[in-house]
Amino acid sequence: MSRDAILPVRGLGDRLTGLFWRHPGLMVALMLALPLGWLVLVYLGSLAALLVQSFFSIDEFSGLIRREFTLSTYAELLRAQNLDIILRTVTMAAAVTLGCAVIGFPIAYFAARYARGGWKALFYLGVMLPLWSSYLVKVYAWKLILAREGIITWATGATGTTPVLEAVLAIPVIGGVSLSTSYIGTWSVFVYVWLPYMILPMQAALERVPNSMLEASADLGASRWQTFRTVVFPLALPGIIAGSIFTFSLTMGDYIIPQIVGSSRRFIGQAVYQLQGTAGNIPLAAAFAVVPIVIMVIYLTIARRKGAFDAL
């Protein structure tokens, strides 16, 4: 055992530890260099490129991109058929977000407040398991479930509830010939696919609410509903917002689900896919792609104004 006041350097590890100890900023700089480089160059760079493209326009005769600043591409977004696409997508994204929040909340609440040990493991497994299989496989599986010749039609026939299914399909706008070609079907698949992204942040937010806070609310005379409204919900709100950022933006950008489970009515993702592919209209595709970004910024600004992040 050495009796010196200073212990000998054992190797490179000790040397580096000493270096970082003397220059605390160095470690942070090294840690951030790679991700920051990625974020700025690849991520924000491509975003900037996108933004720039959206201010170009396409020459209608030659089909070539005119690299001059113009707002005409954005003006084109305001045409009735394009506005329809935007409105449809935003409505769907909002409906999916709401659906995920309503279905996900009890699950997240159970996991955060009641599940312990094995139950908690089961919760994580249950929520994450769908993410282990391919997204495409899940969507096609849902097509089989929802199709006219699919499981649901068969099940309603077997249980004599066909009239219920027919009544649901007869609802104007969201109904249709079959579930797999209706908005109901598209919505169901969206909700299924994005649900984990809503549950996990919600559960994390609820987990941070100490039990004593719920007890304090009850102690001061609040009913369960009042406690939910005035304490649980506001404290879970940052988590719900975080989840809704996922569900909202993922729905707005998706072009596969509405194509496989849905009608011919297009969503933003499909429009972008077709415009940059077959139509070759990159500026309009870029302008379409900017729409979800703008909507998210507006959404988050409103959320912040309303105090959604006060509990952070």
CA proximity to 186, closest of 264, 115, 257: 257
Question: In the bound complex, what is the minimum distance in angstroms from residue 114's beta carbon to another protein?
Answer: 16
Helix-helix angle 162-169:151-159, to 10 degrees:
130
Tokens of 79: 């045409």
Q: Which residue, 149 or 219, has its beta carbon nearer to another protein?
A: 219
Tell me whether residue 288 is exposed, middle or buried, using C-beta atoms within 10 angstroms of its C-beta: 0 to 12, 13 to 18, 19 or more: buried
Place of tokens 């079907």: 185
Distance CA 162, CA 281 (A): 45
Q: Which residue, 144 or 218, has its beta carbon nearer to another protein?
A: 218
Question: In the bound complex, what is the minimum distance in angstroms from residue 226's beta carbon to another protein?
Answer: 6
Question: In the bound complex, what is the minimum distance in angstroms from residue 306's beta carbon to another protein?
Answer: 12
Q: Which residue, 8 or 118, has its beta carbon nearer to another protein?
A: 118
For 38-43, the CB contacts below 8 A with 24+ separation are none
Question: In the bound complex, what is the minimum distance in angstroms from residue 159's beta carbon to another protein?
Answer: 40
122 CB-near residues (< 8 Å, 6+ apart): 115
- Establish how many alpha carbons lie within 13 A of residue 265's alpha carbon, considering only the half-sphere containing its beta carbon: 17
Binding interface with another protein (CB under 8 A): 210, 212-213, 215-223, 226, 230-231, 234-235, 307, 310-311
Rg of the chain, C-alpha, whole Å: 26
Question: In the bound complex, what is the minimum distance in angstroms from residue 112's beta carbon to another protein?
Answer: 17
CA proximity to 283, closest of 120, 109, 77, 62: 77
Q: Residue 164 in contact with residue 240, Cβ under 8 Å?
A: no
Q: Which residue, 34 or 220, has its beta carbon nearer to another protein?
A: 220
Q: Which residue, 234 or 253, has its beta carbon nearer to another protein?
A: 234
Question: In the bound complex, what is the minimum distance in angstroms from residue 103's beta carbon to another protein?
Answer: 25
Q: Which residue, 153 or 217, has its beta carbon nearer to another protein?
A: 217
